[in-house]
Amino acid sequence: MRTQVGIVGAGPAGLLLSHLLHLNGIESVVLEARSRAYVEGRIRAGVLEQPVEQLLTDAGVGTRMQAEGMAHEGVILRTEGHDHRIDFQALTGKHVMVYPQHKIVQDLIAARLAAGGQILFEAAGVSLNDVGTDAPFIVYEHDGRQKRLDCAIIAGCDGFHGISRDSIPAACRRSFDREYPFGWLGILADTPPSSEELVYASHDRGFALLSMRSPSVSRLYLQCAPDEDIAHWSDGRIWDELSLRLSCQGFTLQPGTITQKGVTPMRSFVSEPMQYGRLFLLGDAAHIVPPTGAKGLNLAAADVAVLTRALIPWFRAGETALLEAYGETCLRRVWKAQRFSWWMTSLLHRFDAHSPFERQVQRAELDYIFGSVAASTALAENYVGLPLIL
């Protein structure tokens, strides 16, 4: 089989890339190792920057998002029982959209299949070949047979643990990595959110986050050890700790039935380059951010926007400038998002290694943000999203 762009991975990045290429007359085939049911049901983050919301809407896949998503015009920072609201709308004229990632995946799959797009689920044994040449190809197994996909471009959208990044020779790669000394214990609960907007709480016992997936489903997190044993956390203990860390005058946390819980380690990671020959890395295949700044999915969408913009003139007229600059262009935004995510994480979490001096500096930084329009604006500007292409 032959196509113009072979896409490895049917997450948001791979599916959005396939959809945008289709809208511009460029053919693609998406290969996904998991089943459709698994991909469509995988729960992930759900805070969309306004530029990403607009990208989905302009691409014709935002109808359900606009109907079911929750537009948030601010976020609450809580410390020592006091709240400060960062007013996105007043400071930037923008908002963020809370809409679950698995619904974005469902919307994109439906759009691709309705348009006759090819998504091959349960494609096993995928390998990328001759990526440094002008005739790359992908070998995979599907329906019990080994097959070959010849393509002009390969897009690696298969996540941090996928094969794409390692298909770039090790001697040509450089990685930047930081592992944080804590993780997040996250839960999904069948209970209406106890706040209309996200609450980021800095507490002496550790960070906590109140988020949501819908008007009836809450998503909450607790800072914990990176190797925390979830078996030691009963539902009652989780709600007690959340109530303590999120406590504030006039605020009441509404417990509910916990339907999912797990521990996620925290890390920052960037792999350079993001392109090698005809192979281009997108999303988690190239970079990971701690979730504090809500940037993971948004960075993946920005990578898609950059690559789509570059592929259109390359396929239509053989123009190479934008394609050759793909990695450099993406990394300008990636490193700004890394900086913001690191800063938010460092600002709000409790570090065991911190001295009393360093804890006081954290408090002073929060106090500065609360009292400075300029500092609040900088936070808001980064949270709602820098332009997709910088």
Tokens of 316: 């239509």
Catalytic residue among 19, 94, 203, 295: 295
Q: Residue 273: which of 313, 303, 308, 309 has the closest Cα?
A: 303
Residue 145's pLDDT is 96
User: For 2, which DSSP code?
Assistant: B
Q: Given this model, what pLDDT does residue 41 score?
A: 92
- 231 three-state secondary structure: helix
Task: Quick: pLDDT tens for 103-124.
Answer: 999 999 999 999 999 999 999 9
Short-list 144, 45, 50, CA closest to 89:
50
**72 is an active site residue:** yes
- Written as one letter, the residue type at 1 is M
Choice among 99, 140, 180, 200 that is catalytic? 200
Two structure tokens written together for 372: 């400075």
Give the whole-angstrom CA distance, residue 270 versus residue 285.
9
DSSP annotation of 350: P
Task: Find the distance separating the first CA and the last CA of the chain, reported in whole Å.
Answer: 36
Spatial separation of the C-alpha atoms in residues 44 and 173, rounded to whole Å: 28
Residue with tokens 């930081």: 178
Q: Are 244 and 251 in contact (CB under 8 A)?
A: no
CATH superfamily of the domain spanning 5-50+97-176+267-350: FAD/NAD(P)-binding domain (3.50.50.60)
Catalytic residue among 12, 291, 326, 349: 291
pLDDT digits (tens, 9 = 90+) for 68-78: 999 999 999 99
Could you confirm whether 84 is annotated as catalytic? no
Q: Is 169 one of the annotated active-site residues of the chain?
A: no
Q: Can you give the pLDDT at residue 46?
A: 86
Q: Which residues pair with 187 in a beta bridge?
A: 220, 261
The Cα–Cα gap between 142 and 378 comes to 49
From 12, 51, 72, 136, active-site residue: 72
Among 166, 164, 173, which residue's Cα sits nearest to residue 280?
164
Taking only the tens place, the pLDDT of each residue in 301-353 is 999 999 999 999 999 999 999 999 999 999 999 999 999 999 999 999 999 99
* 287 neighbors 370 (Cβ within 8 angstroms): no
At residue 71, the pLDDT reads: 97
Burial 319-353 (b: 16+ CB within 10 A, else e): eeebbeebbebbbebbeebbebbbbbbbbbbbbee
In the annotation, is 215 catalytic? no
The candidate with the shortest Cα–Cα distance to 10, out of 110, 127, 91, 151, is 110
> Which SS3 state, helix, strand or coil, does residue 23 take?
helix
Counting as low any pLDDT under 70, the low residues of the chain are none
Whether 12 is a known active-site residue: answer: no
- Whether 383 and 336 have beta carbons less than 8 Å apart is answered as no
* pLDDT for res 80: 87
Taking a C-beta distance cutoff of 8 angstroms, is the pair 302, 388 a contact?
A: yes
Q: For residue 101, which of 298, 337, 306 has the smallest C-alpha distance? A: 298
